[in-house]
Amino acid sequence: MTRPVDSGVILIARLALAVLFLWGGVMKLMGYAGFVGYLHSKGVPFVQVAAPIATAIEALGGLCLVLGFRMRAVALIMAVYTIATAVLGHDFWNVTDAALQRDMVIHFWKNVGIAGGFLLLYVTGAGRISIDGARAPRSGLGL
């Protein structure tokens, strides 16, 4: 069980993560052809399958974060997705331009940090201020 203050902090963490992914999912939808082209340029395999999956993960995952729905499963999926995007999208080891490589290193490790946040959500769950929290059975002892 979490204390009420813990649930508030978990909600803020969920919302902070959700903003990034909701924005990314909407931008991918609005510029879908450009996103597909970007994936081709990065050598992502099966782009026609990967593009809609990535877009759905970001948009629906962001929405689930806001609502606190199926948080443990969503958090695990988002952690794996964020590491995959770090490896495929921020491959600093293939960049020769020093300034661009520096940016790619920052983005790579930023994604690793975000994945760490998702792993914490996997462990803590969504907290009480969530759909998952509303569906959880409550103890009769006020705990």
Render pLDDT for 58-110 as a digit per residue (tens, 0 to 9).
Answer: 999 999 999 999 999 999 999 999 999 999 889 999 999 999 999 999 999 99
List C-alpha distances in Å: 74 to 6, 16, 66, 71, 132: 20, 15, 11, 5, 12
| Whether the Cβ atoms of residue 53 and residue 79 lie closer than 8 Å to each other | no
Closest CA to 80 of 106, 48, 54, 49: 54
| pLDDT exceeds cutoff 80 at 9 | yes
- Express as a percent the part of the chain with pLDDT over 90: 84
Arithmetic mean of pLDDT over the chain = 92
Closest CA to 127 of 77, 61, 68, 65: 68
